[in-house]
Amino acid sequence: MADDIATAPVIDLDAAFQDSGVGPILEQLETELVGLRPVKRRIREIAALLLIDKLRKDVGLTSQPPTLHMSFTGNPGTGKTTVAARMADILHRLGYIRSNHLVSVTRDDLVGQYIGHTAPKTKEILKKAMGGVLFIDEAYYLYRAENERDYGQEAIEIMLQVMESRRNDLVVIMAGYADRMNQFFTSNPGFRSRIAHHIDFPDYSADELLQIAELMLKEQNYRFSPSARDAFSKYMAARMSLPHFSNARSVRNALDRARLRQAVRLFETRGHAITRDDLMTLEADEVLASRVFAAAEEAAQEN
């Protein structure tokens, strides 16, 4: 034993980190996803754990592989699906899953239509996802409390069994709105305990939404004029006060409508020369034309 300690090689954490290729992917996550502090923190923690686990294994310290089933809860448009799609990539680079593939399903893909149809269907999906990540969107639909003969229960039981017995073979990520997922977990206590990571996606602040808007525009080769940027930040403030606000999805819809108006404006000024710049720029008018402003004012007056 004494010999062991004397000759034990020093473990180079820095080199292991470099080798794993996790650094770039965490950086990419940082730059491409705005906000989402708790989510990024948890991903960092998981990355650190897996890296340390690998080092421990290299020096002969064995331990059970960690359970990485996750549940993402949050309001609409907070990035649950986007992060899940990245998760497969992250876990693959960390060497936790064998292949970099994500199988994305909803209730329809798991639950059958008649007796005896559900089990093979669910098993087929689980086998398809093996080696990678199974992402269940709107997972709370699996359980329908109002119908006790619903086949969803059967799918849930099969999934629980596979999640437990084959946790080295696949990672299950469930996503859904916070309140309904809570209800889902209350009626299926087995799920809550088998999922190690419950990650809550917070709502975005107004500043973050503006950043997201600019990121989205950049991806599509558009940009705001300075006045449009101010107008959009006012727009977001007004939109957030209205009902059915769904974070990044509302931003995307607003931008789509602004693009429509920009296209109309350019179309109506035909006869003039149009530059590349004109094609790229969204003006303040296109944002201010939204009926959200009027609606927000009306709502404010009513209160």
The one-letter code for the residue type at 122 is T
Q: Please, what is the minimum distance in Å from the beta carbon of residue 20 to other proteins?
A: 21
Nearer to other proteins, 127 or 194 (CB): 127
104 beta partners: 135
Q: Give the Cα separation of 62 and 54 in Å (integer).
A: 10
Q: Give the Cα separation of 188 and 136 in Å (integer).
A: 16
Nearer to other proteins, 173 or 236 (CB): 173
Contact letters (x/-) for other proteins, 91-130, by CB under 8 A? -------xx-x-------------------------xx-x
- Token pair belonging to 207: 């500043």
DSSP H or E run through 189: helix 189-194
Nearer to other proteins, 76 or 95 (CB): 95
Q: Please, what is the minimum distance in Å from the beta carbon of residue 119 to other proteins?
A: 12
Is residue 89 near other proteins by the rule CB under 8 A?
Answer: no
Nearer to other proteins, 38 or 120 (CB): 120
Q: Give the Cα separation of 73 and 182 in Å (integer).
A: 9
Q: Give the Cα separation of 90 and 120 in Å (integer).
A: 30
Nearer to other proteins, 98 or 261 (CB): 98
Maximal C-alpha separation, the chain? 88
- Token pair belonging to 256: 């789509």
Q: Do the bridges between strand 70-74 and strand 281-282 make them parallel or antiparallel, or are there none, so unpaired? A: unpaired
The C-alpha angle 40, 173, 213, rounded to 5 degrees, equals 45
Q: Please, what is the minimum distance in Å from the beta carbon of residue 131 to other proteins?
A: 3
Q: Which of 137, 138, 150, 169 binds other proteins (CB under 8 A)?
A: 169
Q: Which of 41, 57, 117, 166 binds other proteins (CB under 8 A)?
A: 166
Q: Please, what is the minimum distance in Å from the beta carbon of residue 125 to other proteins?
A: 11
Q: Please, what is the minimum distance in Å from the beta carbon of residue 166 to other proteins?
A: 7
Q: Give the Cα separation of 118 and 257 in Å (integer).
A: 42
Q: Which of 76, 131, 190, 202 binds other proteins (CB under 8 A)?
A: 131
Contact letters (x/-) for other proteins, 185-224, by CB under 8 A? ----------------------------------------
Q: Which residues contact 245 (CB under 8 A, 6 or more apart)?
A: 239
Is residue 161 near other proteins by the rule CB under 8 A?
Answer: no
Where does this chain bind other proteins (CB under 8 A)? 98-99, 101, 127-128, 130-132, 166, 169-170
